[in-house]
Structure 1
């Protein structure tokens, strides 16, 4: 199995430890991981702002970098969903890439079918289910549906020794980040983020985790401004701990 690691811009620039944890975790699971060094932004910020017509150079470079791999794996649900929904260009190659691109937790559960992990993280953890992952990639069930509940992220966290998953009042509520929404509607975004943080704090979380570092970055900013001791950590870092 030849897997390409797709690292989003904000992880590359601000949270490189998440990319490293993802790489180490996949290698522990005996996956042959490759890192296309010429990869850049996937184009999601432009598309979210209404400028998808300007993203073709990003699409072309993505296709050039990630063609020929069995799978493309990324520690970001939003970037993966953007590729799955919006990657176009050389349509034969684009279609192949769209079908082979996975967010990390869905790759672990759906492709590798991981049943156990050699990891320890002895803390109380709150799980933030990001909107892109939950509603776009179907990584977890939406609470408003009358259907059996599931969460791929939660099932993986339960394999980690020492993790105590806390309950939340509104476990699938949006954090308010929303990509460029947090810039264009900063007051609404900040209030939504504060509500999300409060839910975790009320239930005694030591850490807030999730599959999207962009959401966690938003929550981290609020925690720091509140001078809270609670930290954010990407799920890859816990699964690799």
Structure 2
């Protein structure tokens, strides 16, 4: 893992219709690291993601990627720079095959050989996805659909992969399987930001985490340290 900051967010303020939902949030993530953003519904997690990925324009603050100011940059430009997002709800094309869904993730790449090499890597990471490649996405289980969604995100050859609520609606056994894949993705050098409500499994997975409440970062630290933090236990772990 490198000490170099891949993404840095400084004093971010973002919201909708002139009303701030996120207030002065700051954090950074290093190359090869898994960073978790935790919080309940309405805490400001998703708004933070939308500001980073260019879906909404921040009201103030700076977002840097590899040292470059990308604040307010449109999503398609961010994808070309190496940032991919897997949205909440998977957003697959149900009537298309699994493989065609994956190829949609490589839409910016015109090099057919590079696309096939990327597809091979994705299938090595997700053997079950390869087994289902000729099935339509709508026939897959929820866990399999989430694997396809993450695999599609990897098809753009990202340096930073952002996952929004990947455990949503999945049984605990499937969550553990998905998180195992996230660990493997980080192990090949891809930085991961994971936004979750599932605090226990996410803190066990991540290198570093911070908790957002009412649009503000209220506590941060190493995942293993937050797992044993009394304030976090009371708020999120039922302690």
User: Normalised by the shorter chain, which TM-score bucket?
Assistant: 0.3 to 0.5
User: Which structure features the higher share of helix residues?
Assistant: 1
**What is the TM-score of this pair, normalised by structure 1?**
0.33
Bigger RCO (CA 8 Å, 6+ sep): 2
